[in-house]
Copies of this chain bind each other. A is one copy, B any other.
Amino acid sequence: MKVQNYSEIEETEVTMEGAKDVSMRLLISENDEAKNFAMRMFTVEPGGHTPFHFHDFEHEVFILEGQGVLKAEKKEQPFKAGDVIFVKPDEKHQFRNAGSGQMRFLCLIPIQDKCA
């Protein structure tokens, strides 16, 4: 069993187009022999955001710290620490930090379609 504080896990800048001042830690992944889904932590600096994009897999999100705005195709919704967010496959989305401090969240994704 792996027990590790998130702060000990390497943090890398997200360089994907459309991302601004976002970093990621890969908390649990195939490197740990996880076969079904991966746990990532994202940290967004004030004014920063993830790309406004969509993809064919879901996001299961838990907001750990801070506050922000979830931008979708036709609306924007505020969120704050303690909020749970489910983004379905193909829904366009962007997480924006709307606060004065860091905004931090867990975002889990499926690792692969095992039946493919």
Contacts and interface: CB of A to CB of B under 8 A. Distances in A.
A79 interface: yes
- Interface of chain A, helix or strand or loop or mixed? strand
A7 B80 CA distance: 12
B9 A84 contact: yes
B114 A77 contact: no
A3 B77 contact: yes
A96 interface: no
A94 to B, nearest CB: 11
Contacts of A10: none
Given A2-B84, A34-B86, 15 more contacts: A1-B85, A3-B79, A4-B83, A4-B84, A5-B80, A5-B83, A6-B84, A27-B62, A37-B60, A37-B110, A39-B60, A39-B62, A60-B108, A108-B108, A113-B114
